[in-house]
Amino acid sequence: MPLAQRPDPAPLETDDVRIVAAGTALWALALVVLLALKAAGTDVHGWWLVMAAEGALLGLVGVRYCQRRRDAIARGRQAH
């Protein structure tokens, strides 16, 4: 006997731009802290700096993507 399937729940509305921006800000903060530690003479691995910089830069790409996606969804809702 097959199980009765329930309808899919409605998608959750989230503020993806804010979420991705928060992560990007954390990567940028990590980069600033690492640069400050390096300036103070602490032994900071170079790949840590690169990783934090790449996280911040890719985060900016992610923020832009989420903004464009949010705007496209809003235009789609207005068209219907």
What's the pLDDT tens digit per position in 20-31? 999 999 999 999
Q: Confirm whether 27 is domain-assigned.
A: yes
Count of domains forming the chain: 1
Residue 24: CB atoms within 10 Å: 19
SS3 2: coil
Say if 80 falls within a structural domain.
Answer: no
Answer whether residue 2 is part of any domain. no
As a whole number of Å, the end-to-end CA separation of the chain is 40
Is residue 79 in a domain? no
Q: Is residue 46 part of a domain?
A: yes
> Which band of pLDDT confidence, cut at 50, 70 and 90, is reported for residue 80?
confident
Q: Is residue 3 part of a domain?
A: no
Integer-rounded Cα Rg, in Å, for the chain is: 20
The boundaries of the domain holding residue 51 are: 17-74
Residue-wise pLDDT for 13-64, tens only, equals: 899 999 999 999 999 999 999 999 999 999 999 999 999 999 999 999 999 9
pTM of the model: 0.82
How much is the pLDDT for 3? 81
